[in-house]
Chains A and B, each alone.
Chain A
Amino acid sequence: GEDVEQSLFLSVREGDSSVINCTYTDSSSTYLYWYKQEPGAGLQLLTYIFSNMDMKQDQRLTVLLNKKDKHLSLRIADTQTGDSAIYFCAESVRGGADGLTFGKGTHLIIQP
């Protein structure tokens, strides 16, 4: 079945770049997303990429997609303390229609 894998923790120094990685198994995935969850809150969409793209940049965020290796990454430039959260990678074939498959989430820890 479908599976999305992420590392559970990433620790970076404030001001450095963070790179969160994700692999997925469903080759028919059409939409790939990154969500952010702060403590006690729901999930907030950060960015997305369509499967016919290999890169997308949005201010401090850069998403890279290697469709051949089924590898997705999220780079956060100039990481700040406000970036401390859990980051979820998610994939779907039909957008929101039949739900998304989420990874277990990566806890991003910012060191001063």
Chain B
Amino acid sequence: NAGVTQTPKFQVLKTGQSMTLQCAQDMNHEYMSWYRQDPGMGLRLIHYSVGAGITDQGEVPNGYNVSRSTTEDFPLRLLSAAPSQTSVYFCASSPAGERYNSPLHFGNGTRLTVT
């Protein structure tokens, strides 16, 4: 049981390039979300999804797009990378319902550097 898998683990981009961070989960979780983690800033929510075909913006959505065509996958797209997007990105998933004892499952992160 792989849980939440993020690829790639590391990525270096030049300013203006685009790329997609992949996230896949095999737990049949309805809820998925993307966070970025910056030093001294904790984790901030970028986008989230409560099910296939449904996405919504989090706290810091600018510069990122998401889609949720299947339950398993929730890719995060950077349209035109900027140095301010240098960060560690975490994908998370959780089952639906008011199940506080089954909270977020995190991937191991993608470390992105934009030069």
Cβ of A41 and Cβ of B108 under 8 Å apart? yes
- Residues in B neighbouring A104, C-beta threshold 8 A: 40-42
Q: Do most interface residues of chain A lie in helix, strand or loop, or is the interface mixed?
A: loop
CB distance from B2 to the nearest CB of A (A): 13
Check if B98 sits within 8 Å of A94, measured CB to CB.
yes
Residues of B within 8 A of A (CB-CB), count: 31
Task: Indicate if the CB atoms of B106 and A96 lie closer than 8 Å.
Answer: no
Asked if residues B100 and A43 are in contact (CB atoms below 8 Å), the reply is no
What residues of chain A lie closer than 8 Å to B74, measured between beta carbons? none
B29 to chain A, nearest CB (A): 8
- Are A88 and B103 in contact, with the CB atoms below 8 A? no
Q: Is A15 an interface residue (CB 8 A)?
A: no
- Using A43-B106, A99-B45 as known contacts, list a sample of 18 further A-B pairs with CB atoms less than 8 Å apart, ordered by residue number in A: A31-B100, A31-B103, A33-B103, A42-B4, A43-B43, A43-B90, A43-B92, A48-B100, A50-B100, A88-B42, A95-B99, A95-B103, A96-B94, A96-B103, A97-B96, A99-B33, A100-B45, A102-B44
Q: Which residues of B contact A (CB under 8 A)?
A: 4, 31, 33, 35, 40-45, 48, 50, 56, 58, 90, 92-101, 103-104, 106-109
Q: Give A residues with C-beta under 8 Å from B.
A: 4, 8, 30-31, 33, 40-45, 48, 50, 88, 94-105
